[in-house]
Chains A and B, each alone.
Chain A
Amino acid sequence: MRIGVYVCECGKNISATVDVERVVDYAKSLPNVAASRVYKYMCADPGQELIKKDIEELKLDKVIVAACSPRMHEPTFRAVIEDKGLNPYTLEIVNIREQVSWVHDDKKKGTKKAQSLVKSSVMRSALMEPLDRKKVGVTHKALVIGAGIAGIQAALDIAGSGYQVTLVEKSSSIGGKMAQLDKTFPTLDCSACILSPKMVDVGRNPNITLIANAEVEQVDGYVGNFKVKIKKKPRYVIEDKCTMCDDCVPVCPVIVHDEYNENLSPRKAIYIAFPQAIPASYIINPDDCLGIDPLICSKCKDVCGPEAIDFDMKPEIIDDEFGAIVVATGFETYAIENLGEYGAGNIPDVITGLEFERLISPGGPSTGDIRRPSDGKLVKKVVFIHCAGSRDPAKHLPYCSKICCMYSTKQALMFKHEVRDGTAVNFYIDIRTGGKDYEEFYQRAAEEAKVVYIRGKVSELIQDGNEILVKGVNTLTAETVELHADLVVLATGIIPSQGTKDIASVLRLSLGINGFIKEAHPKLKPVETSITGVFVAGCATGPKDIPETVSQAGRAAVRACNIIAQDEIEVEATIAHVDEILCRGCGICVETCPYSAITMIDTKRFGNTYKVASVNEALCKGCGSCAAACLNGAINQFGFEDKQILAMIQALGEE
């Protein structure tokens, strides 16, 4: 056994708090250590060459690198030793940066801790065994969940690379929240004009299978081979037959709130979400319809010329397999009901930003005239309240929702374009215009449209006659101020959608503290998740504007293609394995495994049948939960065997 120990200075990152020379000298005194060296940047080419040269000249068979977290450079050094013929899984990394130098000030104690950690790793290294890399086949097909702008873009990009992609959408049409917007900042492009060509492309692309009005119910399997159960709810209208003639709508006797118009206008039980909807077909909402039964009411069926209405449609379960998954389940806005000081939804003319979008849209409930929901009066004076529920860790959302400054500014500008003699006032805490051309857009709103900005919070909104009394503060003049407004628009923040929460539980994705899906790395792996082969794009990971969402969708698509383009991929080698003789069949490991990788199987021994645990090698992520839970010590993990871990603990205990 000949072990080489390589200590990295990491510039001053490590050497400022750890006396690296002393660590090197100490390592030399440990058993089996044949070489011990220090270098300024071990990950740089000369550092790597140093290790390679030693493996060759000193005939090393194990290598230990004491440097940063294995998450940073384990792959780098594994490749280095593999290059010289050693098994990559015999590499040992000692984290003396994140776990020592960055978290300690005392150089003496830091050095001591680094020495102890190096010693424990030397003990473990001696017991490390070579492991085989396992490979599995790949289904060359991707699944995109959610068809807002993020999902649409991801599906188009995957399809554009020549791969089959299935796009699943919960509601009756694709388009998501962007389809509800009137215009988009900072260019004031009409949202429908830039979105609908992409929606049409989705409908036409031969590589895209669109399943609308459907939800992903269950996902099993693993990277390269996800087995997915999709539940397609009945539409009661045959998509291919519907000619969108609209004859069914006038005869339908049921009137309900139209969700697309944020409940500001009515629709019938048979409807199309909006004129540009894809799939281009009407739908009957069974919850609204009198009964999906010709005996109760079949007025729509009677008038339907192309006989597109089918009351006998049943929910359909679609089972399919995919190599990679992109989650693009989007956002919802913070409920106005949570904001007591702003009327908690009880003042009809206090509305949300999304409601304002519908109000100002020519396709909206007031056909583009900005009228008050209460009495239909044309609005002359509108107040926008920024951060309605955002940046308030004490009571509401702790984070900045990022897009509200810009959308409130856009809405104020659009209002001034419509109502030249009107007044638009923005109450803000800070104006955040972090995006290309955003600052210019904000300045344009103030300069050209004379949108008024008052820095300060609004404390209270009170219905005063047929106007709303807005009480607040102007922190720049240090005065409490009040004014009357016809309409108040709350820039409510972004929260994770119900769909995001649901899919996170189906896929077992980690969520961050605010309920958004957690990225594998906030900067360098922004679309990767805790599950290999599952990617995420758009507001499912947090507030984002449209350009950022579209770029993320593109990256998620590329990452999905990275997987589905391959014929086989490597899976984790450090997986769990069962000693069937020791296993007593209690099944505690089955319950513990977060990836459903363990099942109980029958095994025959001396003519008797026993229940024992069995690990699915492709599903196992190597988390080690089962090995820790097993009462008989029957489960061990390759690369983290009990004897190796105990040797480390023993070494640390001797100090």
Chain B
Amino acid sequence: MSYDYIEFGQTEKEFTSKIEEISGQNIFSCYQCGKCSAGCAFSNLMERTINQTIQLVQLGQKDKVLESNTHWVCASCMTCTVRCPREIDVAAIMEAIREYTLRYEAETIERLDLPEDLLKKIPNIALVGGFRKKSEL
């Protein structure tokens, strides 16, 4: 039987507080009632339920949080936010996890790889968006 190690180290604490900082939510307010997952229209498409994701954020387990599709499936319909008994903006936490990924993931587009004439044609915002976007292209 294999056990998943819970570290509670500096890295873990930093991940938790970064998500708290970006979302503006106290992640420890969550007492795992599961109402967010229960009412989510897309729970069945998520690899982990929302409350499981939040628990993993509480424990600072970054890799497990990011490797799941949960926050990408989230459509930000805000049902969870409206229903949360602890008044946590759950959708904001999902957004924070997405944002965290974008901020810390290596950029998938290298500026120097782009042809000069293309650079002249595309608008700046598309370029920046392209840098930030998790893109399979």
A residues apposed to B, CB below 8 Å: 381, 423, 425, 431, 442-443, 446-447, 450-455, 471, 474, 476-483
Contacts and interface: CB of A to CB of B under 8 A. Distances in A.
21 contacts: A423-B8, A425-B8, A443-B31, A446-B28, A446-B31, A447-B29, A451-B28, A452-B8, A452-B28, A455-B32, A471-B3, A474-B55, A476-B51, A476-B52, A476-B55, A477-B56, A479-B4, A481-B5, A481-B6, A483-B7, A483-B8
A454 B55 CA distance: 8
Central interface residue in A431, A455, A477, by most chain B CB within 10 Å: A477
A477 B48 contact: yes
Given A474-B55, A476-B55, A480-B2, A446 B8 contact: no
B50 to A, nearest CB: 11
Interface in B19-63: 26, 28-29, 31-32, 48, 51-52, 55-56, 58-59
A452 B59 CA distance: 8
A483 B5 contact: yes
Interface in B82-113: 86
B1 interface: yes
Contact of B32 (A381, A450, A476, A480): A476
Contacts of A381: 8
A431 B31 CA distance: 10
B52 A482 contact: no
Contacts of A442: 31
B8 A481 contact: no
B12 to A, nearest CB: 9
Contact of B28 (A423, A450, A455, A483): A450
A480 B58 contact: no
A452 B58 contact: yes
Given A452-B58, A477-B52, A443 B29 contact: yes
A644 B41 CA distance: 73
Contacts of A446: 28-29, 31
B8 A477 contact: no
Contacts of A431: 31
A381 B9 CA distance: 10
A353 to B, nearest CB: 22
A479 B52 CA distance: 11
A476 B59 CA distance: 12
A480 B31 contact: no
A482 B31 contact: no
A442 B59 CA distance: 18
Nearest to A431: B31
B55 A481 contact: no
Contacts of A480: 1-4
Contacts of A455: 32
A453 B31 contact: yes
Central interface residue in B7, B29, B32, B86, by most chain A CB within 10 Å: B32
Contacts of B58: 452
A381 B7 CA distance: 11
B26 A447 contact: yes
A562 to B, nearest CB: 44
A476 B5 CA distance: 16
Nearest to A473: B3
Nearest to A452: B58
B32 A482 contact: no
A481 B8 CA distance: 12
Contact of A482 (B4, B28, B29, B56): B4
8 closest residue pairs by CB, A with B? A482-B3, A483-B6, A423-B8, A446-B28, A477-B52, A480-B3, A450-B28, A447-B29
Nearest to A480: B3
B32 A447 contact: no
Contacts of B6: 481-483
A454 B4 CA distance: 13
Contacts of B55: 474, 476-477
Contacts of B59: 452, 454
Given A443-B31, A479-B4, A480-B4, 20 more contacts: A423-B8, A425-B8, A431-B31, A443-B29, A446-B28, A447-B29, A453-B31, A455-B32, A474-B55, A476-B32, A477-B52, A477-B55, A478-B52, A480-B1, A480-B3, A481-B3, A481-B6, A482-B5, A482-B6, A483-B7
A447 B29 CA distance: 5
A145 B52 CA distance: 51
Central interface residue in A443, A446, A478, by most chain B CB within 10 Å: A446
B55 to A, nearest CB: 5
Contacts of B28: 446-447, 450-452
A423 B6 CA distance: 12
A482 B32 CA distance: 20
A381 B12 CA distance: 14
Contacts of B26: 447
B9 to A, nearest CB: 9
Nearest to B8: A423
Contacts of A447: 26, 28-29
A450 B8 CA distance: 12
Nearest to B12: A423
A454 B61 CA distance: 13
Nearest to A380: B8
Contacts of A481: 3-6
Contacts of B48: 477
A384 to B, nearest CB: 14
A521 to B, nearest CB: 36
Central interface residue in A381, A455, A476, A478, by most chain B CB within 10 Å: A476
